Amino acid sequence: MKLTYRVEEGVRLGALLWEFGPGWRMISSAMLGGGIGVREWVLNAQVVAGYERMDPVDHLRSLGPGGDGVGMMTAASVDRYVRASDGGVEAFATVGLRVPTWAAAPEGFQDPELAPMRVGTVNIVTVVPVAMTDAALVNAVMTVTEAKSQALIEAGFAGTGTASDAVCVAVPVEGPEELFGGPRSEWGARAARAVHAAVRRGAEAWRPRDSG
């Protein structure tokens, strides 16, 4: 993982880049490279608060190393990322919680943090060292999300996340495929514990002065 900086709109912004190279498959909710497919890198790019560009996918692509990758955005300070591991699973989280929200909000609820383009505030990258079926990958995303919500609630935040969180789970292409990714499966449990630890520490360290 590399941490770099750039200046946009007069603001110094960080970006985290994981260069996996060939042989990795990912599932993600990100705007760039989302869905399930073979990917070679993941980018978690900090953007200005109130991001209003209308070309976020092209913007992310311009910040990446080229080729097929996953690109996420956040208004949180990415240099304050938190890393945790459990049994070979690694989790990285950037946590910003200015306006946590419950997933099941009333109809018509307007989250004050949503800019015209969705700017993620709790972004999670999870690396699992075993291949998984498509169904197990979907299950793993559920597990990561549940562990994130558990950590936020335990840290005292009234919400399951923010309105624009993003997640990415990366697994090798080769090898026997795991059939399960739930929180009581071998690798799902490890992912849950790693994500929970990273998000919990990030949430406890967060302060209102943060941008995201």
- How does DSSP assign 176-210, residue by residue? PPBS--STTSHHHHHHHHHHHHHHHHHHHH--TTS
d(CA 41, CA 48): 23
pLDDT in tens, 131-150: 999 999 999 999 999 999 99
In the predicted structure, residue 109 carries a pLDDT above the cut 80:
no
pLDDT in tens, 146-175: 999 999 999 999 999 988 899 999 999 999
Please give the structure tokens belonging to residue 207: 């302060």
d(CA 44, CA 166): 10
Q: Residue 136 region, left (φ>0) first, then alpha (ψ -120 to 50), else beta?
A: alpha
Give percent of the chain with pLDDT exceeding 70. Answer: 92
For the whole model, what pTM was predicted? 0.92
pLDDT in tens, 64-107: 999 999 999 998 899 999 999 999 999 999 998 877 888 898 88
CB atoms within 10 A of CB 158: 9
d(CA 59, CA 152): 30
